[in-house]
Amino acid sequence: MFRHVPNALTGLRLLLAFVFFAILSWYQYEGRGDPTLLNSAFVVYLVALITDYLDGYLARKWHVEGTFGRVIDPFVDKVLVLGSFAFFAGKNFIIPDTELPNPGQLMVVKTITGVTPAMVVILLARELLVTSLRGESESAGRNFGAAFSGKLKMVLQSITILIILVFVNYLPWLKTHQYESAARLVRDVFIYLTIVVTLASGLSYVRTAVALYQARRTRDAAEPPPK
């Protein structure tokens, strides 16, 4: 009975991810910008984070770690994080740089979230690289478990997503009370810190993969040739 609870929580988190994306799809900053939508998105994402912690904790406590959890759990994490940043760099969070541009002036747009498509590419490239390295290593029978930097990256990415949701949703209030500059600075610091940690984490996994490859070559060289 207990062995299915962690997997059920993982499945629930995938469902919550679709609910979260549906809310972001409906939301438009200068359109369907009802604050209730982003408040709901914040709660949904927070619940998803709690289920992420619980499924891993319960699987370890009850000793029911399995192949399903090892594959699907990180998959759901990647869908939730990468999907969030992709939405933040998309049209629903784009606003004109000037509300009333002069006639003939080019319209300049920016993301109110502070997330750009280039940042999404960096995050995606890191995940694809690490997934490829892990698949290659484990197919050869070598352990390639999650490093601390990878876990730190996930925590930081999730905190950044929540900060962005709060910033966008309460921007009018921040402007009214003259907190916008400070809030924007906090938002940008977390975004760029996320990018730096993501790159550092990817480099850490590359070093691990290189070390495993060199160890295999050394071992193969030390073995006597087959007769």
**Three-class SS of 78-125:** HHHHHHHHHHHCCHHHEEECCCCCCCCCCCCEEECCCCCHHHHHHHHH
pLDDT value at residue 4:
78
Average pLDDT, the chain: 86
pLDDT value at residue 65:
73
Q: Please state whether the predicted TM-score (pTM) of the whole model is above 0.85.
A: yes
pLDDT value at residue 157:
96
Residue 177 counted as domain residue: yes
pLDDT digits (tens, 9 = 90+) for 180-193: 999 999 999 999 99
pLDDT value at residue 206:
87
Specify the number of domains making up the chain: 1
pLDDT digits (tens, 9 = 90+) for 192-206: 999 999 999 999 888
Residue 169 counted as domain residue: yes
* Mean pLDDT, residues 99-106 taken together: 56
CA distance 202 to 146: 11
Which CATH number fits the domain that encloses residue 165? 1.20.120.1760
What range defines the domain where residue 139 resides?
2-222
Residue 227 counted as domain residue: no
Question: 150 and 129 in contact (C-beta within 8 Å)?
Answer: no
CA distance 142 to 191: 34
Residue 201 counted as domain residue: yes
pLDDT band at 100; cut points 50, 70, 90: very low
